Amino acid sequence: EPSLSESVKLHRLSDSDSGIIEVTLDRPEAKNAIGNDMLGGLRHAFEAIDTDSSAHVVLISSSVPKVFCAGADLKERKKMTASEVHSYVNHLRSTFSLIEELQIPTIAVIEGAALGGGLEMALSCDLRICEENAFLGLPETGLAIIPGAGGTQRLPRLVGKSIAKELIFTGRRIGGRDAISMGLVNYCVPAGEAYPKALEIAREINQKGPIAIRMAKRAINEGLERDIASAFDLEEECYERILNTKDRLEGLAAFAEKRKPRYTGE
């Protein structure tokens, strides 16, 4: 596959896993800090994935031991003018929104540090799997800034207002076990097991009706932003969209014939 930037690799799994796409952060010398090159690479990767109807689920992983992502690149930041910082942060925000609004599910594989913008990226994903020795935090207030790429909004929506405030006000790093008890991650597993766990979940999703998965994600994400009556309307609209699919008929046929369905995304 083409390399999109030095620090972001895009890879499609093979054979029956070919609906699974892996985006790997690969900038060991800076612990996957998000510089301009990585930001451009992330944007290209997710734009490509969003227009690929054969992509069904995305893993976001790191090739760097003990690190998911160290957040914004603080060395590049130091050299930026005020207007460059402004445009960098806007680019970071819109890239994380692109991840969040991707039509297909995304899973962050957190094998180590997920800090600042690194945790904000993971918060933009649908699911998070971490290892026991991972640590997560939003240290921004210690740098006299606030989480500016969605952290003040996505964290409280995920773990509640009170816990989000404690994590943001103190900037404290928490371990994987605390993260699971707060509902910040879906699973906390022993070292070395996050990737296999994420792959197991990706495979489960990959076998489902692709349009159904897209509609389910849309109904949940957009519905949570609406009042309940209009959220039910949205569910109905998403349901209507799957009624006319070939895959729905294939699902019924497979059930009747006691075999596995073969979905085509039509």
Q: What is the contact surface with ligand CO8 in residues (CB under 6 A)?
A: 30-31, 33, 67, 70-75, 89, 92, 113, 115-117, 139-140, 143, 145, 147-149
11 close to 1: Cβ distance less than 8 angstroms: yes
User: Which two three-digit tokens encode residue 95?
Assistant: 């890239």
- Closest Cα to residue 197, out of 124, 110, 67? 110
Give min distance, CB of 75 to ligand CO8, in A: 4
Give min distance, CB of 167 to ligand CO8, in A: 13
By beta-carbon proximity to ligand CO8, the closer residue of 28 and 160 is 28
User: Which two three-digit tokens encode residue 27?
Assistant: 């900038």
Whether 183 is a known active-site residue: answer no
Please pick, among 22, 76, 111, 120, the residue that the annotation labels catalytic: 120
HSE on the CB side for 251, CA within 13 Å? 15
Give min distance, CB of 33 to ligand CO8, in A: 3
Whether 175 is a known active-site residue: answer no
By beta-carbon proximity to ligand CO8, the closer residue of 49 and 69 is 69
Burial classification of residue 175, based on how many CB atoms lie within 10 Å of its CB (0-12 exposed, 13-18 middle, 19 or more buried): middle
CA 30, CA 16: separation in Å to the nearest integer? 35
CA 237, CA 232: separation in Å to the nearest integer? 9
Which residues, other chains included, contact 123 with Cβ-Cβ below 8 Å and sequence gap of 6+? 96, 150, 151, 154, 155, 158
How many other β-carbons are positioned within 10 Å of the β-carbon of residue 34?
Answer: 30
Give min distance, CB of 89 to ligand CO8, in A: 5
Whether 72 is a known active-site residue: answer yes
By beta-carbon proximity to ligand CO8, the closer residue of 2 and 192 is 192
By beta-carbon proximity to ligand CO8, the closer residue of 78 and 258 is 78
Question: Catalytic residue positions?
Answer: 72, 117, 120, 140
